[in-house]
Chains A and B, each alone.
Chain A
Amino acid sequence: MATAKLKEAIKQPWRGQLIRFVPYIAGGIILVVLPAVLPSYLQGIWTKFVIFAIFATSYDLIYGHTGLLSLGHAAYFGAGGYAVALLMLHYGIDSLWLGIPVGILIGAAVAAAFGFIALRVSGMYFLLVTFALAQLLFSITWNVRWLNSPGMMGIAGLPRPDLGIPWFSWSTISLYYFVLVIFLICLFLIYRIINSPFGYALRGIRESEPRMRSLGYNAWLHKYIAFIITGAFAGLAGVLFVYYNRFISPTHIGIMFSFLPMIMVIIGGSGTLLGPVIGAMIIIFVEYFASLFTPERWPLILGGIFVVAIMYARGGVSIHLSRLWEKVSYRYGSV
Chain B
Amino acid sequence: MEAFRTEGLSKDFGGVRALSNVSFNVEVGEHVAIIGPNGAGKTTLFNLLNGQLPPTSGRIYFFGEDITTMSTHHRAHLGQARSFQIISLFSNLTVLDNTLITLHGTKRSRFQMFRPTNTYKYLLAKAQEMLTTIALWEKRDELVKNISYGEQRRLETALTVASEPKLLLLDEPSCGLTSAESADITDIIHKLGRDITVLLVAHDMDLVFGVAERIIVLHYGHLIADGTPEEIQADPRVKEIYMGIEENTGNATAS
Residues in A lying within 8 Å of B, measured CB to CB: 192-193, 195-201, 203-204, 207-208, 210-219, 222, 225
Contacts and interface: CB of A to CB of B under 8 A. Distances in A.
Nearest to A207: B90
B117 A200 contact: yes
Interface in B54-99: 71-73, 75-77, 80-82, 84, 88-93, 97
Contact of A200 (B71, B80, B92, B97): B97
19 contacts: A196-B113, A197-B110, A198-B110, A203-B93, A203-B97, A203-B101, A207-B91, A210-B72, A213-B52, A214-B50, A215-B76, A215-B81, A215-B101, A216-B73, A216-B76, A216-B77, A216-B106, A216-B110, A219-B73
A213 B112 contact: no
A29 to B, nearest CB: 29
B120 A218 contact: no
B43 interface: no
B111 A210 contact: no
Contacts of B72: 210, 213-214
Nearest to A191: B116
Nearest to B81: A214
Given A200-B100, A204-B93, A210-B52, A216 B113 contact: no
A199 B114 CA distance: 9
A197 B114 CA distance: 8
B101 A208 contact: no
Given A216-B105, A217-B105, A198 B111 contact: yes
A192 B110 CA distance: 14
Nearest to B77: A216
Contacts of B84: 210-211
Contact of A216 (B114, B118, B163): B163
Contacts of B117: 195-197, 199-200
A92 to B, nearest CB: 37
Enumerate the 4 nearest inter-chain pairs by beta-carbon distance, A residue then B residue, closest first: A216-B76, A215-B105, A207-B90, A216-B105
Given A196-B114, A196-B116, A213 B88 contact: no
A49 B90 CA distance: 34
B128 interface: no
Nearest to A189: B114
A43 B8 CA distance: 71
A196 B105 contact: no
Interface residues of B, number: 39
B102 interface: yes
B73 A213 contact: yes
Q: By CB atoms of chain B within 10 A, which of A204, A211, A212, A222 has the most? A: A211
B110 A211 contact: no
Contacts of B92: 203, 207
Contacts of A216: 73, 76-77, 105-106, 110, 163
A262 to B, nearest CB: 20
B121 interface: no
Given A197-B104, A207-B90, A217 B73 contact: yes
Contacts of A217: 73, 76, 105, 110
A192 B146 CA distance: 27
Contacts of A210: 52, 72, 84, 88
A207 to B, nearest CB: 4
B71 A211 contact: no
B174 to A, nearest CB: 19
A161 B112 CA distance: 34
A36 B98 CA distance: 45
A193 B114 contact: yes
B14 to A, nearest CB: 20
B89 to A, nearest CB: 8
A201 B116 contact: no
Contact of A193 (B52, B80, B113): B113
Contacts of B107: 197
Q: By CB atoms of chain A within 10 A, which of B93, B113, B117 has the most? A: B113
Interface string B185-213: 00000000000000000000000000000
Nearest to B123: A197
A314 to B, nearest CB: 14
A195 B76 CA distance: 24
B109 interface: yes
A214 B52 contact: yes
B178 to A, nearest CB: 25
